[in-house]
Amino acid sequence: MTEDTEVDLANLRGALAAEQAQLSAQLDELHVGDLSTVHDENFADSGQVAAEQGESMVLAGQLREQLDDVQRALDKLDAGTYGVCETCGTEISPARLEAMPAARYCIDHAG
């Protein structure tokens, strides 16, 4: 492995760690704003509150998936398997990894 590659991996690890922190903070903010304890059943806008709660749940699910992808990428960095397509086993292009550090698939197998 060349020195340039090691620097790139260090930069990607830093980007993944920063993304992990940001996603965790966003998830924490969603839980702080839990509206289920704020309104009573007779509240006139309870339908709107329910819709907002539903949107928050969907968003939280998406954030958890992204957080799982970031953690998986960090685990792969530790295991030495980072940057390999999970479908075909070929190396994921450095440009793709730079754009999406948590990428699991090469461009041919990206969904």
Q: Is residue 90 part of a domain?
A: no
Q: Residue 42: pLDDT above 60?
A: no
Q: Is residue 48 part of a domain?
A: yes
For the chain, the domain total comes to: 1
Counting residues of the chain whose pLDDT is more than 70, the rounded percentage is 81
pLDDT for the residue numbered 18: 97
Residue pLDDT, tens place only, 80-108: 999 999 999 999 999 999 999 999 999 99
Q: Residue 46: pLDDT above 80?
A: no
- Least Cα distance to 74 among 13, 9, 24, 11 occurs for 13
pLDDT (average), residues 32-36 = 50
Q: Strand, helix or coil at 91?
A: strand
Read off the pTM.
Answer: 0.76
Q: Is residue 53 part of a domain?
A: yes
Half-sphere exposure at residue 54, Cβ-oriented, CA atoms within 13 angstroms:
6
Q: What range does the domain containing 27 cover?
A: 3-80
Q: Residue 21: pLDDT above 60?
A: yes
